[in-house]
Amino acid sequence: MTLVNWLLLGLLGAIWGGAFLFAKVAVAEIPPFVLVFLRVAPAAAVLHLALVLTGRRFPREAKLLGAFCVMGLLNNTIPFSLIVWGQTEIAAGLASILNATTPIFTFLVAAVLLHQETVAAHRVAGVLVGFCGVVVMLSASIAGLADDPLWAQAACLGAALSYALAAAFARRFRDLPPLVTATGQLTASSVIILPVAAVTAGAWSPLATSGVVWLNVLALGIVATAGAYLIYFHLLARAGATNASLVTLLIPASAILSGHLLLGERLSLAQVAGLGLLFAGLLLLDGRILALARRGAA
């Protein structure tokens, strides 16, 4: 992880942390699966326009189109649907904790199962310490583990596993420009989720939806999806699946810090301690502090 990649990871965490705010406003008036479609379809349209403006061609090869469909399923359709389904019964805080297991699943899939990445003690320790930090930050929601339905919690864990599989699968796109990869994935996701959105739309009417909600939908699609996935696929290609998946640890921290800085919400002692653990885990994962310590000892 270079300094630039760490900065991009922090920016991505801030953007996807904000996505929860956009979605929270929008889902009050728009059915969940319709909102998922409205998130990915405009993002795909914007990226297709970007392809045209930059003179790039969208791939037409059947094998690559099939790979985009798999990536769209693993990285959008399945996890978005599982999280929406799970959150019908569990709180957002608990869902965030369960979603923050993504780096653990990614490490197990990419490094242990598929041998795509090096297994190193400091990386294992970093992931575990960082996850503990997220749990401490959101400790008020842990009570839901005993009270909420197991199937809802399993759905959110299934979403984390799907993200991990997507991160490992995405290695096959490393020779493609991030713009092409993001466009292909979001186009496939839009096609896949469209019939589900149509079936579940019910009596929802676009004309009855407020302007504020539509602004949040645009922010969700263009900033938190189109722009964010360009950063994400760049990180996948340059930093690896496990490092890119660390963004799920940063998202709860981003939401907590945004609430403190922008909304004046007070930081509790548990939240401060959790942030400290999270950043300690990231330092362990980075490895450079340990390398400097070893050189100093030598």
Structural domain span for residue 127: 3-297
For residue 116, pLDDT beyond 90: no
Sole residue written with tokens 């930050």: 137
Rounded to the nearest 10 degrees, the angle between the axes of helix 228-239 and helix 3-26 is 150
Q: Does the pLDDT value for residue 113 go beyond 80?
A: no
Residue 170: is its pLDDT beyond 90?
A: no
pTM over 0.85: no
d(CA 246, CA 248): 5
141 pLDDT band (50/70/90 cuts)?
Answer: low
- pLDDT surpasses 90 at 285: no
DSSP percent split of the chain into helix, strand, coil, nearest 5:
80, 0, 20
Given a cut of 80, whether residue 262 has pLDDT beyond it is no
Between these two residues, 178 and 283, which has the higher pLDDT value? 178
Tokens of 225: 């999806």
* Alpha carbon separation from 63 to 75, 114, 191 (Å, rounded): 18, 21, 17
Please, what is the angle between helix 211-218 and helix 32-53, to 10°?
50
Structural domains of the chain, count:
1
Tell me the residue type at 211. Answer: G
Identify the residue whose tokens are 């929802």.
204
**Structural contact between residues 152 and 88, judged by C-beta atoms closer than 8 angstroms:** yes
Residue 183 has pLDDT above 90, yes or no: yes
* Residue corresponding to tokens 């992880």: 1
